[in-house]
Amino acid sequence: MDKSELLKLAFDAQKRSYAPYSDFQVGAALLCKDGTVYQGCNIENASLGATNCAERTAIFKAVYDGKREFQAIAVVGKKNSETEFELCAPCGICRQVMAEFCDPGTFEIILGKNTEDYRVFTLEEILPLSFTGKDLAD
Ligand code: THU
């Protein structure tokens, strides 16, 4: 699975977004180390605080299915009213959820404007000095 294919799956997922409050529709495609892919979209809520981002939808689906080893995630998003996609960076909560399961030095976050125009960051780059389970160990 190359980065363009993963981005294509994120664009497909973006179409399932439920975002009646922000109108900002996000899709994600999470590549597991075993080669399987989990897609997610943002799912908003009238309370706003109960909204779930696309990245977390994909990660939680995968974890429920017993997957905990992840290689990369592609993320795309834009306002429904816009025609062009700009880079959509994961929010702080999603970065923290990634830190729970993903290796900071190798897990790749692929942010795409389209399947050919994208940027790649490691988790370490977008979440330096993270707080993880290691900090709670005896
Ligand atoms: N959102 C995501 O799903 N992922 C991101 O990386 C950034 C933000 C969603 C949450 C909310 O439904 C909408 O985008 C506006 O914040």
Q: Could you give all domains of the chain from N- to C-terminal order, each with its CATH number?
A: 3-136 (3.40.140.10)
- The overall average pLDDT reported for the chain is 98
pLDDT for residue 89: 97
Model pLDDT, residue 94: 98
The ligand 1 site (C-beta within 6 Å) comprises 19, 22, 24, 26, 42, 44, 51, 53-55, 75, 77, 88, 90-91, 94
> Cβ contacts of residue 131 below 8 Å, gap of 6+?
96, 99
Q: pTM (2 decimals)?
A: 0.97
What pLDDT does residue 49 have?
Answer: 97
Query: How does residue 74 score in pLDDT terms, banded at 50, 70 and 90?
Result: very high
Q: What per-residue confidence (pLDDT) applies to 130?
A: 96
- How large is the average pLDDT for residues 16-24? 98
Q: Residue 68's pLDDT is what?
A: 98
Separation in Å, CA 44 to CA 13, 51, 57, 105: 15, 4, 11, 31
pLDDT of 114: 98
User: If pLDDT is split at 50, 70 and 90, which confidence band does 113 have?
Assistant: very high
pLDDT in the model for residue 17: 98
* Ligand 1 binding pocket mutation candidate from 26, 82, 126 (most atoms within 8 A of CB): 26
Mean pLDDT of 60-72: 98
Give the per-residue pLDDT at 86: 97
Mean pLDDT on 29-46: 98
